[in-house]
Amino acid sequence: MTEVHAASRLPPGLRPAHPVVLVTTWFGSGLLPKAPGTWGSLAALPFAVLIHHLWGSAGLVVAATLAFFAGWMASNAFLEANRSAGIANNDPKVIVIDEVAGQWLTLAAVPLDALLYAFGFLLFRIFDVVKPWPAGLIDKHVKSGLGVMLDDVAAALYAAGCLLLYRHFVEGS
């Protein structure tokens, strides 16, 4: 089976260097083959470390909020380009800015710690894939850039909650 070329997964008229594509694919990480959401989440981690180091958990919340709004706007533009080309995909896998915002929101719940970051990465990916209520409901019914972004915020809240419970009951902090 042949792999689909990354650029062919973009709407006509949007090239890899287009600002909408750079934002939605998080600088191309969503264009990598196999599991683009995982690649997007991984690509978010070095930025999370830097943001957390410079500005703490509050900085991650601010960064996640900015990524959310930038992602919402860019995803709307990406989806509109798809619709104009007759493509009806409401949440293309190449869009991973939602994973970036969700990953950063998840990691804002813990101190800068490699083990907690790895655990947060794993928890976020699980909740993003499983999509427990209301993430699944949002994913099915909100068909816009807002929907692309919101289901990952719901997954992040579950993951962050688990991290906080872990810290309270296991670490005692």
State the pTM of this model.
0.91
Amino acid at 133: W
Report which of residues 39 and 89 the model is more confident about. 39
- Say what the pLDDT of residue 32 is: 94
Place of tokens 């694919």: 25
**Does residue 39 contact residue 29 with C-beta atoms inside 8 Å?**
yes
Q: What is the mean pLDDT of residues 154-169?
A: 95
Domains in the chain: boundaries? 6-171
Could you give phi then psi for residue 35, rounded to 5 degrees?
Answer: 55, 55
Confidence class for position 45, pLDDT limits 50, 70, 90: very high
Long-range contacts of 117-126 (CB under 8 A, 24+ apart): 117/45, 117/48, 117/49, 119/163, 119/166, 120/159, 120/160, 120/163, 121/41, 121/42, 121/45, 123/158, 123/159, 123/162, 123/163, 124/41, 124/99, 124/155, 124/156, 124/159, 125/37, 125/38, 125/41, 126/159
Q: Indicate whether 139 pLDDT > 80.
A: no
